Chains A and B, each alone.
Chain A
Amino acid sequence: DTGVSQNPRHKITKRGQNVTFRCDPISEHNRLYWYRQTLGQGPEFLTYFQNEAQLEKSRLLSDRFSAERPKGSFSTLEIQRTEQGDSAMYLCASSFPKGRGTTEAFFGQGTRLTVV
């Protein structure tokens, strides 16, 4: 397995356009997370899935943001009517709960979005 894969790696878009990012998690992982990271800051939680069910959305995730994981495998994150404030690195992570408690998340390299 090659780890968590995110596409595209970079995206430049004009304000007002829609963008969609894709994340392919590690195949046996049933949890998938989306985070947003701005320069010099820690990743901010956006949302997460357990298989195909979206279990939690952060208040950071406005109505312009939507995420799906239709078959419990890959996930997409769409941003509609992009704004300059959406410029950030969007990180995807996956994990597989095992045993007691939780396990670490494995991160992709992220998609860097620049809204001009």
Chain B
Amino acid sequence: AQSVAQPEDQVNVAEGNPLTVKCTYSVSGNPYLFWYVQYPNRGLQFLLKYITGDNLVKGSYGFEAEFNKSQTSFHLKKPSALVSDSALYFCAVGGFKTIFGAGTRLFVKA
């Protein structure tokens, strides 16, 4: 069975600082990995995905994620956080169905 874990319930970062939201996964075979963001009263929005290829994946709104096979991780990163990045972030592993982590709330302080 496939699963993802997001070890941090909340991440706090100051505006302008780099941010990292952690994710580890467990799958048999090649992983299909995703990050989604959820703003209040809005649906989940796709940020980026890793299917194959370069370990560093670039996505929407300046976010990127690094796939690390040996550590089974897929951490979400951004070089310079914005207050508007404050939201709930979900890591997911996909295939025929997509399984989501519990989510990490990102709070960016001005």
Chain A nearest Cβ from B92, distance in angstroms: 8
Interface pairs (27), CB distance under 8 Å: A33-B98, A35-B100, A41-B103, A42-B90, A42-B100, A42-B101, A42-B102, A43-B90, A43-B100, A48-B97, A55-B96, A56-B97, A91-B44, A93-B98, A100-B51, A102-B32, A102-B51, A102-B94, A102-B95, A103-B49, A104-B49, A104-B94, A105-B46, A105-B94, A106-B46, A107-B45, A108-B43
Interface residue ranges of B1-49 to A (CB < 8 Å): 30, 32, 34, 36, 42-46, 49
Q: Is B52's beta carbon under 8 Å from chain A?
A: yes
Q: Does A85 contact B (CB under 8 A)?
A: no
Q: Tell me if A43 and B51 are in contact (CB < 8 A).
A: no
Q: Considering the complex, give the chain A residue whose CB is closest to the CB of B101.
A: A42
* Size range of the chain B interface in the assembly: 20 to 34
Q: CB of B82 within 8 A of chain A?
A: no
Are B49 and A41 in contact, with the CB atoms below 8 A?
A: no
Cβ–Cβ < 8 Å partners of B101 in chain A: 42
A4 to B45 alpha-carbon distance, docked (Å): 12
Give A contacts to B, CB under 8 Å. 4, 33, 35, 40-45, 48, 55-56, 91, 93, 100-110
Please report the C-alpha to C-alpha distance between residue A83 and residue B34 in the assembled complex, in whole angstroms: 33
Q: How many Å lie between the Cα of A40 and that of B40 in the bound state?
A: 11
CB closest chain-A residue, reference B48: A104
Chain B, Cβ-Cβ closest to A45: B97
Cα distance A56–B103 when bound, in Å? 24
Check B99–A40 contact: CB distance below 8 A: no
